[in-house]
Amino acid sequence: MSNCYSLAIGSGTLNTRGEWLEIWYPYPLLNPDDKLVEAVKSTVGQQTSSLTDPQLFALANQLDEAGYTEQANLARSLTDSDKQPVICILAEDEAPQDVPAAYLKLHLLSHRLVRPHGTDLSGVFGVLPNVAWTSEGAVDLDELLERQLEARQEGRVLSVFCVDKFPRMTDYVIPSGVRIGDTSRVRLGAYLGEGTTVMHEGFVNFNAGTEGPNMIEGRISAGVFVGKGSDLGGGCSTMGTLSGGGNVVISVGENCLIGANAGIGIPLGDGCTVEAGLYVTAGTKVKLLDESGNEVELVKAAQLAGRNDLLFRRNSQNGAIECLTNKSQIELNEELHKHN
């Protein structure tokens, strides 16, 4: 195991006060070679550092010697750049203390180097600045009006796509073998496994995602991970842990189906189905049925969390929510999820 958790060279944007707004790390390293880390530290001298051209050339040589060709070429290409080159070295997996560290951790997720909940993101909201994401990149909100006036005077329009702490993932990382209908609905820090399709109404938050292959036409909230072969129907929802005081990590097992406009507030095991329009929360009262359709027990849905092969449905006659063994698991169309 390396003595360094992660290391990356990137290119970022500063506001007029010299504060970081965002950073792009094309080739982050997880658990890099110890000799490389020591050589890099001897050049930059600290964990997060803006880089000069001589430092970039020195780093390129060190990376070449260690066999990191892509990273070496990146270091050379950043010389004489309009953006500020930066290096970030994370000795341990701890809560991010600054913008470079936060962006590196989000990149580790979207590059599939760690899975959701696989890196410490405690306090990330307090670290990241709220930024105007525009047609000319990240702009400090205090500087936005001046930039817009400047653009108009030059006959240009500075379009503001959103105001948020998190940018869209595809401006930084495009994982192999995925399809995304609307890129604005996948945040940096999302983990999309090979073969994932995110349709136009699908949404994937940071520190959340899919194992792949998956069909996502609903919402994957922060912290939620969806197992391979599962399908989230149009407009469905998975309850995250960012608001409402929730502290249970919600997940979806393999080969599950959450129907259109349905939702879950409990973890699902493998082979589960939630019928369209039915939202199952931890406190939902559920009738357990035997194979003959007779009621066995009345329980809270939380007691069924993580169990395999369950079918949740609403009785069309009396409105009661019922649960029985799932006789038919879903199967994704393989052709739809080949994105090479």
**Catalytic residue annotation:** 217
Cα(217)–Cα(236) distance, integer angstroms: 7
What is the residue whose two structure tokens read 């879903």? 330
Coil, helix or strand at residue 225 = strand
In angstroms, rounded to a whole number, what is the distance separating the alpha carbons of residues 158 and 101? 29
Q: Which helix (H) or strand (E) holds 107?
A: helix 99-110
From the list 112, 276, 271, the residue with the least C-alpha distance to 196 is 112
Q: What is the DSSP string of 132-197?
A: EEETTEEEEGGGHHHHHHHHHHTT----EEEEESS-BGGGT---TT-EES-GGGBBTTEEE-TTEE
* Type and span of the H or E element at 37: helix 34-44
Q: Which residues of 55-72 are buried (b: 16+ CB within 10 A; e: fewer)?
A: bbebbbebbeebebeebb
Write the single-letter amino acid at 262. Answer: A
Q: In what order do the strands lie in the sheet with 214-216?
A: 179-180, 196-198, 214-216, 231-232, 257-258, 273-274, 310-314, 321-325, 285-289, 295-300
DSSP track, 58-84:
HHHHHHHHTT-HHHHHHHHHTTT-SSE
Amino acid at 27: Y
The whole-angstrom separation of Cα 318 and Cα 48 is 62
Q: How far apart are CA 172 and CA 22, in angstroms?
A: 10
